[in-house]
Structure 1
Amino acid sequence: MRKKKIGYMGLSVLTTLALVACNSSGGTDGASPGDSASATKKGSEDKVKLEFWSVDRTDADYTREKIAKFQADNPGIEINYVIKTEEYNQAIDLAFASSQSPDIFRVKENTIQTFYKKGYLEPLDDYFNAEFKNKFTPLKDLNLFDGKMYSFPNYGYTMRLVYNVDLFEKAGIKNPPSTLQEMVETAKKLTAVGKADGAYGFALNFKSPASAFDRSARAIAELNGYGGYGFDFKTGRFDVSGFKPIVEAFRQMQVDGSTLPGMESLDIDPLRAQFAEGKIGMYISFSSEPGVYQNQFPAKIRWAAAQVPTFDGTARGASGFLGGQWLSISKNSKHKKEAAKFLNYMYGEQIMLDYHEKGFGISMVPSVLSKAKKADIKGFEFFVPTKYDGAWPIQPTVAVQGEKYQDAFFKYMLQGGDLNKIIADLNKRYNEALDKAIAAKEVDVKPDPSFDPKNLQNMLVK
């Protein structure tokens, strides 16, 4: 049954989720004998230099702090920490194509499968002892491929509509919108009272349409029972028609003038900075936001968060909980043992506890959750998993020819057009790509007529 499979992937460890961490020991005692870094002179010219790439910005200062401690404790290893804010996947591809891949890099649920298939990842099993590995649950197609582990989980994310309480009160709005139509109307009212001060009702980080839609339309579609990446698990085919009412609502807010001007060139951190200043009424994002507004962009407004809206007020599915992997080692690294030592350090229990405590994400590690205490971080309570959060099965990754659905929908938002025609073209091209991938045995796709997205509810909570 699909439900059983999803449950396995679906993080039953979160059923007793607490909010934050308490003290425990970290350290580097999880590496197998002989996996310590080679003896090196302490001169900078003799250090082992590891390149570490990430796409995460919300935890950048925290990560730099931990890297500094690692380097102090391991003077023979130097970490060059690089945050790739633009076209991360393409940067990884180019790095491997030019034999300049990072030694360590961040992988996510929507990239690890592709990176694995391209041969970028080093299996981790032989670098860590049983005690270390037993802390983590192998998740098929998330960090476990063909019986080997390529990353270990740390944390995951829930998705919420984040809103400006002060602007809502100024507009006389008591509750966040629960339907798409209410979201459109709310955005218009917020803009009416805020525009004179440069505040608008809604915004998303459309500098990257894929990032914007994956953090917003995806969550709305899933809560309404549609695959958040346009895949129908019942039929085993792509069908992006579930995005239609969402894209129409986004388009209407744009036409109404309810969206922040210039958001088509807005990245997520500049968007957060604008929200913290009170210039945005609503946006949709991850459970990392409390940490952002406490540490990165201290909020000058009162804010809160709520479940994303549905089409008509009825939840027919569950908003997808994302996570299951974190750091991986390059297959091409010349310093894999040293890279494994760094991973062992970063996956130390104290670091993962602190990560959870500071609101960067919700821990997926049972030993961390068992020690976690209630957090004193504003807003984290809004992101705790509810019955409407669940882990969806993994959709196939295909190399579609032409425009991706996020780009096509974003263009429609700005320019209008025949949305039905756009959807038909997307379905045709995505399923052509799927058929090619199946024929090449790159994916194994089977319809599941029994799949019911409503069964994903109550997965993360009792």
Structure 2
Amino acid sequence: MWKKAIGLSLGVALAAGGLAGCGGNNTKDSAASTAPTAGPKKVIKYWTDDRHDQEYIKEMINKFNTTNKDNIEVELTVLSENYAQSVDVAFAGNQAPDLLRLKSGNAETFYKKGYLAPLDSYMTDELKAKFKDLLIDKVNIFDGKLVSLPNTGLTLRLVYNQELFEKAGIAKPPVSLQEMVDVAKKITDMGKKDGIYGFALNFKSPKSAFDRSVREILSLSGYQGLGYDIKTAQFDFGPYAEVMKYFKQMYDNGSILPGAATLDIDPMRAQFAAGKIGMYLSFSTEPGVYVDQFPTKIKWGGALAPTLDGTIKGTSEIVSAGTWMGISDKSPNKDAAWTFMKFMYGDEILTTYHEKGFGIAVVPSIAAKAKKPEITGMEGFLVGKYDSMWPVSPNVTPEGANYADTFFKYMLSGGDLGAITKDLNTRYNAALTKAADKGEVKVSPNPSFDPAKLQGK
């Protein structure tokens, strides 16, 4: 859990140019070492699916390659897509890289597959102090073994077109879901003749769309955002279903941008940049997107997501935090890989990474001294009282359709929401029991959990 000091001192940044974690073209980059060398050359391969920071990472790799005294040369590979599958193929074919980009969505999976080497033996007293209170079970630590160190995280917000709000006579962003429905309809009624609609999301991938929207609405409302009840250690999609009632209202009354079922994230952003969308929900990557990827002249901002009833009973979950790089357990050059990794986790690089707007610094010593990036729209994504990490929920795969596909189908076609919710609960809890019996997940009820106590952490 992040400490209160971090929330108060974070300057804030964002990943510029596309969602943090999306890929770019496959590229490799290395530089010959001109520094004094010792022993035979060790070539270290680092794989990542991040596109937004690749020029800076290349620059740092070149610096490392030309200054390290251990005759280590790092090669960077940026994978455009299918990162996890490419990693699987590489390990299966004994072609695994030495270093991997880790995120909250892949760290546990990679660990369970035996891809990640423990870092505990490399941790000095200085490093332990630097990352104190930031190392989280099931994020950085698995089975008592440290496999990654934190760097940055992402906040989530309601992104809204201030010009359309003003034109429609709307004074401020909605704070409840009913207000969001009403605002979306008002903007649509005003602008539909010009191709303007009140709301949109990248529904081509329902899970991506809901994990950047419903997840935050629920966490601010006091519920874990992925359907898991921390108090009972069971899945309960009842609160999720309540949110979906409002999404269905927007779909039924025509407030959602047409073609929702095939809309991907970048085409949606292009429409927002063109002034055709009133609001959507997404990550703190968005300000950078509208500087570099889809430059826009519209006046826009970010605000906390609305809640179920307009009251904040929890916090907006900070996501994709806690991990950055990890060492392959199959690497024959683990010590050399750690030498590079330690270089990348140095104060100067972490500080500059934040200041250049590639992510929100989460290390207290970095957050305290890093300057705030001057990027339009960033002020709405600043970490504050109502932002925090949440306990990690178990990752299980149910029989049949997942919650996102199931609820998206309801949004489009309707149905018995109570029966749909009951079925999801049954299937997800069956999968949870199965995973727990196999020892794949460990869960226990926490009846005293109070989401309001996360505020200011």
- Normalised by the size of structure 1, how large is the TM-score? 0.85
1:403/1:355 CA distance change after superposition, 3 Å: same
Does the 8 Å CA contact 1:205/1:212 hold for their aligned counterparts?
yes
Residues 1:412 and 2:410 aligned together: yes
Aligned-partner Cα distance in 2 for 1:432–1:37: 57
Aligned-partner Cα distance in 2 for 1:338–1:262: 50
Q: Which residue of structure 2 lines up, in the alignment, with residue 82 of structure 1?
A: 78
Residues 1:118 and 2:110 aligned together: no
Correspondences of 1:184-199 after superposition (within 5 Å): 184-199=181-196
CA drift at 1:123: 1.2
SS in 1 for 2:130: coil
Q: Which residue of structure 2 lines up, in the alignment, with residue 213 of structure 1?
A: 210
1:344-388 Cα offsets, whole Å, 9 max, x none, are 233222222122223332211122122123442222221222322
Q: Which residue of structure 1 lines up, in the alignment, with residue 240 of structure 2?
A: 243
Aligned-partner Cα distance in 1 for 2:225–2:37: 42
Q: Which residue of structure 2 lines up, in the alignment, with residue 158 of structure 1?
A: 155
SS in 1 for 2:418: helix
CA drift at 1:98: 4.2
Residues 1:135 and 2:130 aligned together: yes
Correspondences of 1:267-278 after superposition (within 5 Å): 267-278=264-275
AA in 1 matched with 2:57? T
AA in 2 matched with 1:397? N
SS in 1 for 2:169: coil
Does the 8 Å CA contact 1:319/1:388 hold for their aligned counterparts?
yes
Aligned-partner Cα distance in 2 for 1:91–1:256: 42
Aligned-partner Cα distance in 2 for 1:13–1:127: 27
1:109-159 Cα offsets, whole Å, 9 max, x none, are 233223222212111233454434432133222212333321110011221
CA drift at 1:175: 1.0
1:243-272 Cα offsets, whole Å, 9 max, x none, are 112222222222222222334333333333
Residues 1:16 and 2:2 aligned together: no
Does the 8 Å CA contact 1:191/1:201 hold for their aligned counterparts?
yes
Q: Which residue of structure 2 lines up, in the alignment, with residue 424 of structure 1?
A: 422
Give unpaired runs (5+ residues) of structure 1. 1-8, 22-35, 42-46
Residues 1:331 and 2:325 aligned together: no
Does the 8 Å CA contact 2:7/2:384 hold for their aligned counterparts?
no
Q: Which residue of structure 1 lines up, in the alignment, with residue 23 of structure 2?
A: none
CA drift at 1:77: 2.2
1:169/1:67 CA distance change after superposition, 3 Å: farther
Does the 8 Å CA contact 1:71/1:79 hold for their aligned counterparts?
no
AA in 1 matched with 2:77? Y
1:173-197 Cα offsets, whole Å, 9 max, x none, are 1211111111112112222333344
Aligned-partner Cα distance in 2 for 1:265–1:102: 35
Does the 8 Å CA contact 1:105/1:330 hold for their aligned counterparts?
yes
1:374-404 Cα offsets, whole Å, 9 max, x none, are 4422222212223222221111222322211
Does the 8 Å CA contact 2:10/2:383 hold for their aligned counterparts?
no
Residues 1:108 and 2:103 aligned together: yes
1:93/1:381 CA distance change after superposition, 3 Å: same
Does the 8 Å CA contact 1:220/1:309 hold for their aligned counterparts?
yes
CA drift at 1:424: 1.0
Which piece of structure 1 moves more, 246-255 or 148-157? 246-255
Aligned-partner Cα distance in 2 for 1:40–1:391: 44
SS in 2 for 1:193: helix
Aligned-partner Cα distance in 2 for 1:423–1:57: 37
1:231/1:161 CA distance change after superposition, 3 Å: same
Correspondences of 1:375-454 after superposition (within 5 Å): 375-454=373-452
Which piece of structure 1 moves more, 220-229 or 389-398? 389-398
Residues 1:261 and 2:258 aligned together: yes
Residues 1:59 and 2:53 aligned together: yes
1:338/1:276 CA distance change after superposition, 3 Å: farther
1:161/1:457 CA distance change after superposition, 3 Å: same
Does the 8 Å CA contact 2:287/2:375 hold for their aligned counterparts?
yes
Does the 8 Å CA contact 1:191/1:258 hold for their aligned counterparts?
yes
SS in 1 for 2:100: strand
Give unpaired runs (5+ residues) of structure 2. 14-35
Which of residues 218, 222, 225 in structure 2 aligns to 1:225? 222
SS in 2 for 1:359: coil
1:418/1:92 CA distance change after superposition, 3 Å: farther
CA drift at 1:222: 0.9
1:251/1:89 CA distance change after superposition, 3 Å: farther
1:94/1:424 CA distance change after superposition, 3 Å: farther
Does the 8 Å CA contact 2:7/2:387 hold for their aligned counterparts?
no
1:450/1:249 CA distance change after superposition, 3 Å: same
Residues 1:456 and 2:454 aligned together: yes
SS in 2 for 1:305: strand
SS in 2 for 1:134: helix
AA in 2 matched with 1:398? V
Aligned-partner Cα distance in 2 for 1:267–1:72: 41
1:267-320 Cα offsets, whole Å, 9 max, x none, are 333333332222222111122222332333322211111110011111122111
Aligned-partner Cα distance in 1 for 2:432–2:301: 40
AA in 1 matched with 2:147? Y
CA drift at 1:13: 4.5
Aligned-partner Cα distance in 2 for 1:147–1:153: 17
Q: Which residue of structure 1 lines up, in the alignment, with residue 231 of structure 2?
A: 234
CA drift at 1:91: 4.3
Which piece of structure 1 moves more, 67-76 or 429-438? 67-76
Does the 8 Å CA contact 2:102/2:326 hold for their aligned counterparts?
yes
Question: Percent identical across equivalent pairs?
Answer: 53
CA drift at 1:51: 4.1
Aligned-partner Cα distance in 2 for 1:332–1:207: 36
AA in 2 matched with 1:331? D
Aligned-partner Cα distance in 2 for 1:437–1:38: 48
Does the 8 Å CA contact 1:396/1:445 hold for their aligned counterparts?
yes
